[in-house]
Structure 1
Amino acid sequence: MNLYGNTKKARLVLENMQSFEGKLIGYPHSSSGEVVFNTGMTGYPETISDPSYKGQIQCITYPLVGNYGVPVSKSDPRETLLESDKIHLHGIIISDYSVEYSHSTGIESLSSWLYANKVPGLYDIDTRMLTKTLRENGTMLGKIIVDDNDLEFYDPNTDNLVQQVSHKEIKTFGQEGKNVLLYDCGCKNSIITNLLDRGVKVTRVPWDFDFNKVDFDAVLFSNGPGNPEVYTSLIEKAKELIKTEKPILGICLGHQILSIAAGATTYKMPYGHRGQNQPVMEGQSNKCYITSQNHGFAVNDENLCEGWSTWFKNLNDNTNEGFRHKSKDILSVQFHPEAKPGPVDTTFIFDEFINAINKISKLTRS
């Protein structure tokens, strides 16, 4: 069995000039971005199709990747197993690659999927050493160099990445139920699916949409890529919405946007949380949940404005994982309650959000 196929050599060069030579899969061109690592053991199609990875080169720490192929991409979030309709990251780094794949949903190899999306990948890399380097030194800029076609290092955190991944057109999902205005900052399909499964209508709007133009019952700020402090206009919209009585939910980048709007600050983490086994504790109940996470920035909740309280903390490093308003129906979490990939321990976050919408609706009618 040919486990590899392509033996064309290429290399990853970090900004500290440390170099890792490997073999190429995917698209044969050089690429640059921020090098990060993900510790998930499964779910590489969902992870790679997550728009939150825009501008990043992802090192997958699990040793064997590609063995169950890639499922078909569909435009309807309810029918696809992928989290978006394209790959947004700038490259992947893996240890062992399997050309042969076997799964009931697999229709193509990982390499062919990368090629179709013009994304390069490297295998036969010492990912343990690379991950150790990133843990000890923090995430670094890096570049995949193919055929000695060198290029400049690229820092994605200085750009408006949300503008690049957000859908440009308004689209409505579902026909009945309360209308959730979904600010698409790079929204995963599974967030839409979780809302639809709970009987609401979802209106997905671009990141810079004027919410005064439509009627809605609640707001959700989605996940997405980049430095939250870059998105000043989105933060201003969040500040305006906080003043209303509409239920609001923030997820991942949406959590950071709401945090800044609520008076908190954010900071870049040394190497972030990217994986499917991050433990968080709910402050009131002291219950622990295992969560899926993908973020390189975190919230400093020490300077939240009065009226807000910390909801979740990370049990590994005590960083903020969520907060809520003490009197309004505003919920916000750093982790991904929709998972995909990862555990679904915290899907109750969506239930709380829907319950808040229904409660406000009953009060309005009375």
Structure 2
Amino acid sequence: MPESQNATACLVTAAGEVFYGRGFGAEGEVVAELVFNTAMTGYQEIMTDASYASQIVTFTFPHIGNTGVTPEDDQGPDPVAPGIVVRWDPTEASSWRAVAELTDWMAKRGRIGIGGVDTRRLTRAIRHGGAPHVVLAHRADGIFDIEAMLRKARNWPGLVGLDLAREVTCAQSYRWTEGLWSWPDGFDKAPKKDAAPFRVVAIDYGAKRDILRSLASSGAEITVLPATATAEDVLAHDPEGVFLSNGPGDPAATGAYAVPTIQALIERDLPVFGICLGHQMLALAVGAKTVKMGHGHHGANHPVRRNQTGRVEITSMNHGFAVDTQTLPEGVRETHVSLFDGSNCGIELEGRPVFSVQYHPEASPGPQDSAYLFQRFADDMRRRRGA
């Protein structure tokens, strides 16, 4: 929608570009970083992924909202992405699983949407110029103070130096036993792959539910601890393995308190498995550095090469920071590489059961090429148990 006439939503970038459209969801205004996601399914999983804190998502696939929403697809208690941008207005839900419309769901949870936007143009701008700071507003009366919105976009400090894990982590520890969903029974309530499940402590930097379900289905009994947990907090649960979850924000900021914990756990020779922000936390703990990417990786079709075998896995990704491969110290091996831009996508410590990946092997949404990583973690714990 190139003109303001009849517009009820507006997106303003820090560069001064203005996009008008039709608003849906909640009314209001939000300032955030703008990213694009190329996944063709899973908009609800994306919006409830805590890694999208302070990020407005532009969906390149036009059919957003057509399958409605269902609590089974939530990756957290509420949507975290503050807003979304779509090409076509959300249509009436057409799915036997739907229990509500996307627009109603967003309105009840204070999330803003704008439809009728040229998302191809917007995506090209993000690819060439990087993820911009923007203000998104939805007003039924269609009255927008563009100059004020522009000032807010330009004054927003951005994600660098921002510790968002504290904002999305759990308030207190809890147990998790639910496994993956399967037809026709739904979620597995008590997965038992081993007579005695592995005791796993998951540090929650913004953990997705399907990651925890994947761990449970691989034979783990999970205790989830807040992001600020110390090594003593973790070891008090006598874990056989430690999982480092995904999450939002600048890994260097979160690392200020997370890195000492991880370093102490590595010294105990415990199996450690990290995903996304957890991968970046592990890299920082062993002496590497992270960098802010131009527009990041957000989608369910990212090719990654597994260096050991040369096999290419199609993966789901959501990250705006990356591990700087050039800073990996001796004794840390790069295991996976993005075939889009050559950025680091995995590491392991030589001679220790410690590894991590940048992408999401639980595939919510996305392909399941990398589900073997959960089994690798279980195998590491099994070997330690038998030692």
TM range, normalised to the smaller chain?
Answer: over 0.9
One-letter amino acid of the structure 1 residue matched with residue 336 of structure 2: F
One-letter amino acid of the structure 1 residue matched with residue 335 of structure 2: W
The residue correspondences of 1:75-86 to structure 2 (distance < 5 A) are 80-86=72-78
Deviation of 1:263 (Å): 1.2
Q: Give the whole-Å Cα distance in 2 for the aligned partners of 1:276 and 1:322.
A: 17
Decide which moves more: 43-52 or 301-310: 301-310
Deviation string, structure 1 residues 66-119 (Cα, Å, up to 9, x no partner): 1110112xxxxxxx3221110111110001023311111111111111111101
Deviation string, structure 1 residues 250-274 (Cα, Å, up to 9, x no partner): 1000000111111111111111110
Q: Give the whole-Å Cα distance in 2 for the aligned partners of 1:283 and 1:224.
A: 25
Deviation string, structure 1 residues 260-289 (Cα, Å, up to 9, x no partner): 111111111111110001001111111111
Provide the residue aligned with 2:31 in structure 1: 32
One-letter amino acid of the structure 1 residue matched with residue 106 of structure 2: L
Task: Pick from 102, 105, 129 the counterpart of residue 110 of structure 1.
Answer: 102
Provide the residue aligned with 2:336 in structure 1: 312
Provide the residue aligned with 1:167 in structure 2: 170
Structure 1 runs of 4+ with >4 Å offset: none
Provide the residue aligned with 2:181 in structure 1: none
Q: Give the whole-Å Cα distance in 2 for the aligned partners of 1:198 and 1:257.
A: 23
Q: TM-score, normalised by structure 2?
A: 0.88
Backbone CA RMSD of aligned residues: 1.3
The residue correspondences of 1:193-212 to structure 2 (distance < 5 A) are 193-212=213-232
One-letter amino acid of the structure 2 residue matched with residue 177 of structure 1: P
Deviation of 1:187 (Å): 0.2
Question: Would you say how many aligned residue pairs link Structure 1 and Structure 2?
Answer: 350
Q: Give the whole-Å Cα distance in 2 for the aligned partners of 1:360 and 1:282.
A: 25
Provide the residue aligned with 1:227 in structure 2: 250
**Do 1:56 and 1:156's aligned partners in 2 also have CA atoms closer than 8 Å?**
no
Deviation of 1:350 (Å): 0.5
Is the counterpart of residue 148 in structure 1 residue 152 in structure 2?
Answer: no
Provide the residue aligned with 1:216 in structure 2: 239
Deviation of 1:8 (Å): 5.4
**Do 2:48 and 2:74's aligned partners in 1 also have CA atoms closer than 8 Å?**
yes
Is the counterpart of residue 137 in structure 1 residue 129 in structure 2?
Answer: yes
Q: Give the whole-Å Cα distance in 2 for the aligned partners of 1:158 and 1:60.
A: 26
SS at match of 1:97: coil
One-letter amino acid of the structure 2 residue matched with residue 9 of structure 1: T
Provide the residue aligned with 2:357 in structure 1: 333
Deviation of 1:305 (Å): 1.9
Q: 1:141 to 1:314 in 2, by over 3 A?
A: same
Deviation string, structure 1 residues 225-265 (Cα, Å, up to 9, x no partner): 01101111111211222212100001000000111111111
SS at match of 1:234: helix
The residue correspondences of 1:247-326 to structure 2 (distance < 5 A) are 247-326=271-350
**Do 1:222 and 1:253's aligned partners in 2 also have CA atoms closer than 8 Å?**
yes
Q: TM-score, normalised by structure 1?
A: 0.93
**Do 2:231 and 2:262's aligned partners in 1 also have CA atoms closer than 8 Å?**
no
Identity of aligned residues (%): 32
One-letter amino acid of the structure 1 residue matched with residue 339 of structure 2: L
**Structure 1 stretches lacking a partner, 5+ long:** 1-6, 73-79
One-letter amino acid of the structure 1 residue matched with residue 17 of structure 2: Q
Deviation of 1:48 (Å): 0.9
**Structure 2 stretches lacking a partner, 5+ long:** 1-5, 178-189, 191-195
Deviation of 1:306 (Å): 1.7
